[in-house]
A and B are shown apart, each in its own frame.
Chain A
């Protein structure tokens, strides 16, 4: 006699939300907000709703390496009901050593068990860079970050590198990179890696990326491996101060009349023209504002090597031979001026290193005219 063996019922995301008292109308509202955050056309809302309703709760393993926990703080400080909160509740977070109650061997056993049970299907989230200079620079339960990443990546369906540290090396990689910090993509070459950069990333960008994997698979990525939905446009193009830029109205200091009138912060070092992120539209602190709205220029934290970008308060430099308005437009159009500035500063530092001299900020600034 043949017996039919039924697979245990896997709870869908829709069922999970419903069990938390979220009605289908609430779910539709949630999907509309999610589509908005993902910069998808509103016409996609029914498709997102249908796909999310049936999506299985994914097992998520979250590894934290050389990081400050800012990325986790960003995600967990959101208030309810938020899209990020709802998605975060709907996933099965099987390992996160900052958030989980278990510690020591118990925590590591939970990770091993989740990896075994969901092998090939779990989503691996990594925040923090990986030191390759000396394995002892950063370990968890005596396991080096490098070994733990390789082990966990082997069974992952996809990897999300959360934060600029995991995506590009970030602050630990800042010159002179004492730990030999590298990004996830520098080590793992055989898995899809989605970089969700930012220091920290916007919480809904983290969960929106997870939602995209659940609904439509790996999102379309830019040349730096970031989802185009969130990193497709630069801050400058979406900035509400852009009209002042177009009219040539700039704040020259942080307390002049231009600053008080809310003029463009380009001359105060704003990196908006060369920074790709969704801050200007999604904003921070429950959609309250973003740094430029608070009166400070963008520091470019979602870009590689932003810490060595030539100074937060130094205007993006202009290629020589350009003057006046032409030069300003060229810089804002994203000509690799920041890179050029960084290279010039780097030369100054290398020269100083060889002579064992200290380089001052003024000397660095002289290298690239603002």
Chain B
């Protein structure tokens, strides 16, 4: 039996947090344009009713990009209908949402290749090329 099967139907509740969050997003978008500041709003730790989540979804709309990453469970990245505003949802192995952020930036942070990974990649590629060139030289002699 799922939780939804329990016959308790809570009335629609309004926490009053929707409008402040909408303005916070708008402010973060202007900061991105003016100073290039990457913004992030943590929705998971705010009291938000299901109705307010739905209203925020409607407000943001759907954009062109919808990506799913497989890192410690799935992570879904969706650009909203406003360029530069992303919904970032983290899920666990059982596809249960464990984190929900609004990111305001050119791309969500988690999508960028990490500097240390790039450095390690360069070192690995350099080693492979050097080994291949050594092999070629050995073959030639």
Contacts and interface: CB of A to CB of B under 8 A. Distances in A.
A286 B96 contact: yes
Interface residues of A, number: 41
Contact of B72 (A36, A81, A238, A295): A81
A24 B114 contact: yes
Interface of B is mostly: loop
B41 interface: yes
B49 A240 contact: yes
A146 to B, nearest CB: 39
Contact of A45 (B8, B11, B15, B109): B109
A250 to B, nearest CB: 13
B10 interface: yes
Interface stretch (A25-33, A130-138, A218-226, A350-358): A25-33
B129 to A, nearest CB: 24
A193 interface: no
A35 B88 CA distance: 15
A311 interface: no
Nearest to A282: B45
Interface string A68-101: 0000000000011110000000000000000000
A177 interface: no
B40 to A, nearest CB: 3
B47 A25 contact: no
Contacts of B3: 288-289
A340 interface: no
Contacts of B44: 36, 281
Interface in B116-133: 116-117
A42 interface: yes
A249 B47 CA distance: 19
Given A42-B42, A244-B13, A32 B101 contact: yes
Contacts of B42: 35-36, 42
Given A33-B98, A36-B45, A240-B49, A262 B11 contact: yes
Contact of A295 (B8, B15, B109): B8
Interface in A18-47: 22-26, 28-30, 32-33, 35-37, 39, 42-43, 45
A280 B11 CA distance: 18
A200 to B, nearest CB: 20
Nearest to B116: A24
B8 A287 contact: no
A239 B10 CA distance: 14
A228 interface: no
A286 B3 CA distance: 14
A76 to B, nearest CB: 17
A242 interface: yes
A262 B50 CA distance: 14
Contacts of B69: 25
A159 to B, nearest CB: 28
B114 A25 contact: yes
B9 interface: yes
**Which of B13, B72, B93 has the largest count of A CB atoms less than 10 A from its CB?**
B72
Contact of B8 (A22, A43, A262): A262
Interface in B4-49: 8-11, 13-16, 40-42, 44-47, 49
Interface string B70-101: 01110100000000000000101110111101
B110 interface: yes
A81 B8 CA distance: 31
Contacts of A244: 11, 13
A280 B97 CA distance: 16
A367 B52 CA distance: 42
Contacts of A36: 42, 44-45, 99, 101
Given A243-B16, A288-B3, 12 more contacts: A23-B117, A29-B71, A33-B98, A36-B42, A42-B41, A81-B72, A238-B47, A242-B47, A262-B8, A262-B13, A263-B11, A280-B47
By Cβ-Cβ distance, the 8 closest A-B pairs, closest first, are: A262-B10, A42-B40, A24-B114, A26-B72, A81-B72, A26-B71, A25-B71, A281-B45
Interface of A: 22-26, 28-30, 32-33, 35-37, 39, 42-43, 45, 79-82, 238-244, 259-263, 280-282, 286-289, 295
Interface of B: 3, 8-11, 13-16, 40-42, 44-47, 49, 69, 71-73, 75, 90, 92-94, 96-99, 101, 109-110, 114, 116-117
29 contacts: A22-B72, A24-B116, A25-B69, A25-B110, A25-B114, A28-B109, A28-B114, A29-B90, A29-B99, A33-B90, A36-B42, A37-B45, A43-B40, A45-B40, A79-B93, A81-B72, A238-B47, A240-B47, A242-B15, A243-B15, A261-B11, A262-B9, A262-B11, A280-B47, A281-B44, A281-B47, A282-B45, A287-B97, A288-B3
